[in-house]
Amino acid sequence: MSAPAVPAMAGGGRWRAPPALLLGGTLLLAGVLAVQAGAVPVGIEDWWALLAPADATASAPTGLAGGAHVLWHLRLPRALLAILVGAGMGLAGALTQGLFRNPLADPGLLGVSAGAACAAAVTIVLVSGPALTLPPAWRPWTLPVAAFAGALGVCFTLDRVARWITPGSISGLLLTGVALNALAAALIGLCTYLATDEQLRSLSFWTLGSLAGARWGLVLVMGGLLLAAVWPLRQIVRSLNALALGEAAAGHVGVDVQRLRSRVIVLVAVLAGFSVAWCGMIGFIGLIAPHLVRTWVGGDQRRVLPLSPLMGGLLLLVADTLARTVAIPAEIPVGIFTALLGSPFFLILLRGARGRFT
């Protein structure tokens, strides 16, 4: 008697759904807890005020007060932005690790985060001083736009220099990123040296990372950006799986390594650049999220790339919720919180998964 046929695992469908369902359910539960937690209590009547507003024709709830106001204007956009930014960081980390074939890689290796931080530091020093005067309506967008421009500038420089020095070499790309990181760090140090006391406080607060400036406009922008970044993954995922066998082997099966490298760099620059632009420097999410996913479901990029954004969103949402509630009414910068928890946790992960990715 023959054994029953085992369903094909095309696309990883058999094993992808349960982890995605579990992560999605956990993320939903964490989101509900995040908007409930805080110094201002929130009750059922506050939720009802959002679901059944007094003016049913308004595009957004109006006339809110108390807990309902806190829900709509503060906690909901902050929780959603944490999920979206964490998802972007997780996806950027997964792409970087797939490109370098190294579970210890993250967007910081390419200099993208440092480039965004450098542009933001220059902007804080210039816009806050007499060197540059802008209309008041432009000032809230100046820092995010500058940080994103810095990330894209590093992306362009990285691609041009890597093509010129070591065309087609991923190791050369990594070394170029190290050099750009050092240059950005020097420029940030120069800005810190030249900054006034007020500028130095602003610079220090931004580099520590925070989601306190979340608003619905940022949520819409980040959501649209994430959706746009997901579309090219269908063409990238197979090439990254082939690249896991090595650059030469990937070239033999028809993968254009140089083109793949350029596409991944642009995606990482957009995702990491916007994340740093809105929230400042938040570390370890892009490093830990893909590593957790690989430990859970294996190294197949068909499963790693879809699950890493969910894991990244969950990690940043939990970290931000703890950062703003453990010391009420004070708030710990989420960048400090992720570093304090991420460092020992990642060392534990490395010990538990040693030899898995060699």
Judge whether 91 lies within some domain: yes
Span of 97-106, 180-189, 236-245 with lowest mean pLDDT: 97-106
Which burial class, exposed, middle or buried, applies to 338 when counting CB atoms under 10 A from its CB (0-12, 13-18, 19+)?
Answer: buried
Judge whether 92 lies within some domain: yes
- State pLDDT tens for residues 143-197: 778 888 888 888 888 777 766 766 656 667 777 888 888 998 899 899 989 888 8
Give the three-state DSSP class for 22: helix
Spatial neighbors of 86 by CB under 8 A, at least 6 apart, are 285, 289, 309, 312, 313, 314, 315, 316, 317
Residue at token pair 């810095």: 150
Judge whether 5 lies within some domain: no
Judge whether 75 lies within some domain: yes
- Full DSSP string of 98-111: HHHT-TT--GGGGT
Judge whether 217 lies within some domain: yes
The whole domain housing 214 covers: 17-53+61-352
Judge whether 10 lies within some domain: no
pLDDT score recorded for residue 306: 92
Give the three-state DSSP class for 333: coil
Q: State the chain's mean pLDDT as an integer.
A: 80
pLDDT score recorded for residue 94: 94
Q: How confident is the model at residue 320 (pLDDT cuts 50, 70, 90)?
A: very high
Judge whether 4 lies within some domain: no
DSSP H helices in the chain: 13-36, 44-51, 66-70, 76-100, 112-127, 139-165, 170-194, 197-208, 216-230, 233-243, 247-252, 257-279, 285-297, 301-325, 334-352
Does the reported pTM lie above 0.85?
no
Span of 89-103, 161-175, 223-237, 249-263 with lowest mean pLDDT: 161-175
Nearest alpha-carbon partner for 114 in 184, 165, 179, 62: 184
Count of domains forming the chain: 1
Span of 41-55, 172-186, 336-350 with lowest mean pLDDT: 41-55
CATH classification of the domain holding 325: 1.10.3470.10
